Amino acid sequence: MSLLNVSEIMELIPNRYPILFIDKVDSLEDGQSITCTKNVTINEEFFRGHFPGNPVMPGVLIIESLAQAASILILKTEKYRGKTAYLGSIDNAKFRKMVRPGDVLKLQVTMEKQRMNMGKVECQAIVEDQTVCSANLSFIVSDVKNGN
C-alpha cells in the first residue's frame, strides 16, 4: 500500500512523463526521511538508446530519481508547500550495480541538514536489498516561477 500515489506526487513536484521517475511513496517521516518506489520497465524511453541489446538505466537518471524523492520529502513539509526544490549539487555519487528492466528501485532519502531554503540529503537507491547507487545531494527551495 502506498502513502502517496502518482497523482498525489504530481501535485507536489513539477515532473511529468517522460521525466517523472517516482511511482509511489512507501513511507514518509515528515522532514526526516522518505522511501519511494520506481518500477523499471523495458518500456522506458531511455532504453531505446542505452544500450541496444543491453538495456541499462543511465546513472544520471538514477540520481534524478533520488532527487525527485528528495523533492517530495522537502515539499511535503508545510514550510515549503507550493514551492519547488532544485538540485544544487551531487557529492560522493557511487554506482555499484546496473539497474535493468524488471528491477524495482527503492529510493531512500534521509535529511542530513537544513538551513533556511537550503539543505543536504543522503540518498541510496536499492534493488533487492543491494545498494546500486549512493550519493549526497544538496538542494535549494524557491518559489515556483512561471514563464520563459
- Kindly report the backbone phi and psi dihedral angles of residue 2, in degrees, each rounded to the nearest multiple of 5, phi listed first: -95, 150
Instruction: Give the integer Cα–Cα distance in Å for 77 and 80.
Output: 6
Residues designated catalytic: 50
Short-list 143, 73, 69, CA closest to 114 = 73
Cell matching residue 79: 514550510
